[in-house]
Structure 1
Amino acid sequence: MKQVKNSLATTRTAQSRASTDDRTAAYRSALMLLAGLAVAALIGFASAQVLAAGTDSTSSSSGSSYKVSNPSKAMRMATSLISAEKYADALVQLENEVAADPKNADAWNLTGFASRKLGDYSRSEKAYDTALAINPKHAGALEYKGELYLTLNNLAGAEEMLGRLKANCSFNCNELKALRKAINLYKQAN
């Protein structure tokens, strides 16, 4: 009887160790999976931040966050150059892009952005108008055209762009927030 009890105790101890080992292995696997997902999320976030200058997705007036889906080599170069504030060099890449894909609203928007930063307001407005003709709801072009209007002291034009953004991009819209802030700062300064 004592042998049976010892045998049962040994079996239970072994089962307990196996169960603990299984739980530990499952716990480690779960931690590794979570760590892998966290790294993947960080890489995705960093990649989105590298592609820059107010495209149809997310953007800000400072040109801080940009996202272009499936960018060409010229677009990747242009966004990198814009991030480095090399606007004239970016325009060369953007000219190549719009020649290859004249319906690329993102490329036209970035052309407007780079032109505005260089002080070529006429070219900037034409580029924004082209982007908006292709995609009338292009949030980046609406925001940046509003900022152009503020640069040209056209508050009514900026407020019109703000109204269009409100109609098209109200929930968690960085472009709307950025243009609203720019208009408020403009009003305070003038």
Structure 2
Amino acid sequence: MMKLIWTAAFIISLGTTSLAVGSSDYSSPTVGVLQAANQFLKQKRYADAYQILQSIVGAPEDDRQNLLGFSARKQGEFEIAGRHYEQALALNPRHLGALEYQGELFLELGQMENAKNNLSKIIQYCSSSCAEANTLRKAIAKASQ
């Protein structure tokens, strides 16, 4: 655990600016923790990202739940991931990232119709050309082959 904290502190000190959660209206400490979690996600260190995301205070809860779901799904923890996506969408039914990632979870579970329903919602909320729609559309096409 201590090694993880030191690693996160190091990543925060690098000043990474890429966030995968959609908003930048976070307090500075929260931004740093989100940056560390985002860096772990990019490095496919999903367990580390999950652990950090559990400790975040001050970030929008829908974003946090979405990233917790992503981290859990990438570790093969589909039931846990599903609960996080449901929580994110209960807080914000129009959360495009959660709809996309939940759609990808549905595909991994063989639930094609649910994935298509999520794609329809994304298109309804943003358009057929937004990034989340394009990503989920490609995943559906690949799963249909």
TM-score (norm 1): 0.62
Correspondences of 1:1-190 after superposition (within 5 Å):
50-52=18-20, 55=21, 57=22, 68-71=23-26, 72=30, 73-97=32-56, 100-101=57-58, 103-170=60-127, 172-188=129-145
Instruction: Confirm or deny: 8 A CA contact 1:103 1:134 kept in the other structure.
Output: no
Larger Rg: 1
Superposition deviation, residue 82 in structure 1: 0.6
Letter in 2 for 1:122: E
Superposition deviation, residue 136 in structure 1: 0.6
Q: Sequence identity, in percent?
A: 37
Instruction: Confirm or deny: 8 A CA contact 2:128 2:134 kept in the other structure.
Output: no
Instruction: Confirm or deny: 8 A CA contact 1:109 1:127 kept in the other structure.
Output: yes
Between Structure 1 and Structure 2, how many residues are aligned? 126
Q: Which runs of 5+ in 1 are unaligned?
A: 1-46, 58-67
Q: Where do 4+ consecutive residues of structure 1 move more than 4 Å?
A: none
RMSD value over aligned CA atoms?
Answer: 1.7
Counterparts in 2 of 1:101 and 1:129: CA distance versus 1, 3 Å: farther
